[in-house]
Structure 1
Amino acid sequence: MIRVLVADDETIVRAGVRAILTTEPGIEVVAEAADGREAVELARRHRPDVALLDIRMPELDGLAAAGELRTTNPDTAVIVLTTFGEDRYIERALDQGVAGFLLKASDPRDLISGVHAVAAGGACLSPLVARRLMTELRRAPSPRSAASGERVAVLSGREREVLGMLGAGLSNAEIARRMHLVEGTIKAYVSAILHRLGVRNRVQAAIVAYEAGLVNDA
């Protein structure tokens, strides 16, 4: 059973997220918080596997809460719930160890699959968030772009191709279909890519892909 904490200052949002998650037999919502400080305290008490945090909350925002959870609850994976106007926070969130980004308007199936993914040690990145991030990076390239280009140079051509699709928000299954390979092979590629880039999860790998200009090839 995957134990989940939901934190959002809007009661109706918390109720909606809970309603979606409780349709999945393998997921249990163990706590709800109305602000970031309460989320941190409840996480200490309940030790959830996954924390779903809104970015904008009183007392302590979602990103600051994620940073505290990294220290107090290192085994709790964090998914940030965003809106279109908040994807500018992604790089800051990565520094706080966030494992996933989902839009509040995402398909309920994406929320459920995202919780399963991060609970299993993976990551999730909404394709819509990925596209917006790619647009922003094209408009204002990060000073790390050159360094990211050097990092991906150690990858094989096939690995760079997989990384580009990963950066575009495609799942392992979707990448496998595009490359006419089995999903297990793609999973092995992704694991090798994360190791060779020295990143913790798919979201961080996606940022490297954007900065290195690989997403254009996806």
Structure 2
Amino acid sequence: MAAELEGKVAVVTGAASGIGLASTDALIAAGARVVLVDRDETALTSVCSVRGDAAIPLVIDLLDPVACATLVPQVIGLVGQIDILHANAGTYVGGELVDSDPAAIDRMLNLNVNVVMKNVHDVLPHMIARGTGDILVTSSLAAHFPTPWEPVYASSKWAINCFVQTVRRQVFKHGIRVGSVSPGPVISALLSDWPEEKLREAKESGSLIEADEVAQVLIFMLTRQRGLTIRDVVMMPTNFDL
């Protein structure tokens, strides 16, 4: 697998931790150079310092519209091309809707939906001009099942599921593949909002996924022959339905 993505340049958003960092490591292991995008400069500097020249840090607060618009131009300036965009940055709001903070709802919808759409919009002209590219989005099992304890989060992922499927139909004629990976609960910072009792039950029952397991699915999607698109992979722990 070490050379499957040799010569490719990938951009991963939300790359300093969780699925984004696991994706970065898997891409580097497959031979790609990776531009890690995150707003946490300290964490980004730390993770890049131990990953060598294949890891290129780029500090951007994607919730700042002006900064968000600089993502693609900055990456092109740094490395000259974008072969892979992994739109991974996201956040989580769970619990009863009536108890949710409206500001937190706005922030989550902005990051989970608007930023993803803008990042994809901005990279498409570059990929269309080159006649090739892969766009992968971190979605969620919540995009496929109306999860009752997370109506806001699930709604954002349902929107992204529709976005992935419709954009894919628009751009496959340009040699661009678009897909998403939809994991169940992943051991990451996004679970910090879960009630302690629910998190403990999930861990004890084996109902959580490791971030590197998601990353390996992403590599599988990226390394299929160009005539095959893996549109969406739904991942769940075997015990999740218990």
Place the TM-score, normalised by the shorter chain, in its bin: 0.3 to 0.5
Question: What TM-score results when the alignment is normalised by the length of structure 1?
Answer: 0.45
Question: What TM-score results when the alignment is normalised by the length of structure 2?
Answer: 0.41
